[in-house]
Chain A
Amino acid sequence: MGAIFKRDFSSYFNSPIGYITMAVFFFFSGLYFYTTCLYTKTSDMYYVFQSMFLVVMFIIPLFTMKLLSEERRQRTDQALLTSPISITRIVIGKYLSAIAIFAICLSIFMVFAIVLAFIATPSISVITANILGLFLLGSSLISIGIFISSLTESQAVAALSTFAIEFVINILDSFASTVSNDFVKNLLLALSFRTKYNNFALGIINFADMVFYLSITALFLFLTVRVIDKRRWC
């Protein structure tokens, strides 16, 4: 697990993709931070974090697209699967490497908090909730991305499919409002990523919201393991 984590994490920095995605993330978070906090002179980062929902949706597929698809294309999965290590550990190692690089992206908000501390007194608990929410959102999207990456040999297909799924996740709420059937409507709202994320963005740490994101993460990591295991049998 440690070996996989180390290799995948460092491979983000062996190609421009890691640097570019981080730069994009820093640029947009900085832009939103400047326009909604510094320019309007408020210490409330709600709008920053609300906007980050979309930014995260754009960068996560770039982190996850090659994690498993590239292993298959280059036949390096043969080395992994014939080593004395379980598929679960392989998948978790890869998940952690994406989480780690995502965490580096999130560290920029610590800097923003420090900047805010110079002009006002930011609420540490609210910012903690903000960052935690974004982290959990990213975690669930990363596991979805890894799952999709396990289904194909092409990075591009993996990235585009992950975008497509995230797009569906994004419009789930507006779609729910057009449905008249109560059961379907409630089901769609229960699956909504955005409402739960908005709670975090407002500074509310809700246990049920945390469980939702963690369950999505676990579910898709589990499915990924199943996909890889299934392929060995047919």
Chain B
Amino acid sequence: MIEVKNLVKSYGRQTALDNVSFSVKDGEILGFLGPNGAGKSTTMNIITGYISATDGTVLIDGINILEEPHKAKSRIGYLPEIPPLYGDMTVYGYLCFMFDLKRLTLPRDEHIEEVSKLVGIDKVGNRIIKHLSKGYRQRVGFAQALLGDPPVIILDEPTVGLDPNQIIEMRNLIRRLGKKHTVILSSHVLSEVQATCDRIVVINNGKIVADDMKDSMTSKAADDKLIAVIEGREQAVLSAIKKISGVVKVKKTGEPERGCGEYTIECREGADIRRTLFKTMATLSMPILMLHREELSLEDVFIDLTQGNGGNK
């Protein structure tokens, strides 16, 4: 259980965090979403005790990170944005060092082997860290965070720099960990947090813009916009679509192939025009080559949230 209350962090006149509060329940995976520079890393650094807040409190299982730092820190596994690796050590040597640093009392070699297997670095144990690829380094950093099986795991942009396969592996791993541990993970990619997290907190300019926005708003906003690639003359297509009931606005947004246009269709809230659109275009013999809902980008979420027509804030 993590409770963050009224965190403020200012650097001189600049305010990096402005009254940030949220809480994470046991066994929950919380996604911390925001653009670069929103204050995600700052918040995570404060929760883990790396830096101190100007004001506010952080409680890890009821333990204040400022009052009893050792007790609180021993409950947290932290993977910072840049994994804290010593390039001159071997993977095994590094994990031994972190094991000792965290003063763990588990059987060392067995535990390190177990964690290494979990994140898939058991075959590179004797390699020097600086010779490893980015993906492997990220995993070594992850392994370090998992040492000692801490109840709270905090991951700062864990999938940055990984290839698509590794991202999927990482997501699966995080979901598996979420069953036993409390996890906070940050990202600036919406689909990423949507795929892994139980709950999403959105932060922008050091302020919480939305707490718990998982289903309510992302799907709704996405429902309202369709992207269609249709073959045919532009004017004819536009006028045909405009006649469909439920369509608010339509405009041509591109030309992916010769003779085909990409159209963005905005619909009234709740209206599903896909079937009517199909039939209309079919009778006009203007084939629909592709039809999909618009993928909601982070920018859209922010526009939606800051204009006050979404989220549960």
Contact = CB atoms under 8 A, between A and B. Distances in A.
B173 interface: no
Contact of A7 (B12, B73, B97, B144): B97
Given A74-B84, A86-B70, A80 B101 contact: yes
B258 interface: no
A192 B51 CA distance: 38
B71 interface: yes
A75 interface: yes
B100 interface: yes
B48 interface: yes
Dominant SS at the A interface? helix
Nearest to A3: B100
Contacts of B76: 82
Contacts of A85: 70, 101, 103
A84 B100 contact: no
A84 B71 contact: yes
B97 A81 contact: no
Given A6-B97, A75-B84, A84-B102, 6 more contacts: A7-B97, A15-B88, A78-B45, A78-B78, A82-B48, A85-B101
Contacts of A82: 48-50, 73, 76, 78
Given A75-B80, A79-B98, A11 B50 contact: no
Q: Give the bracket for the number of chain B residues in contact with chain A.
A: 20 to 34
A39 interface: no
24 contacts: A2-B100, A3-B101, A6-B100, A7-B86, A11-B89, A14-B88, A74-B86, A77-B84, A78-B50, A78-B80, A78-B82, A79-B78, A80-B84, A80-B101, A81-B49, A81-B50, A82-B49, A82-B50, A82-B73, A82-B76, A83-B73, A83-B98, A86-B70, A234-B12
A6 B45 CA distance: 26
Contacts of A3: 97, 100-101
Interface string B58-88: 0000000000011101101010101011111
Contacts of A79: 78, 80, 84, 98, 101, 144
A83 B147 CA distance: 11
A78 B42 CA distance: 12
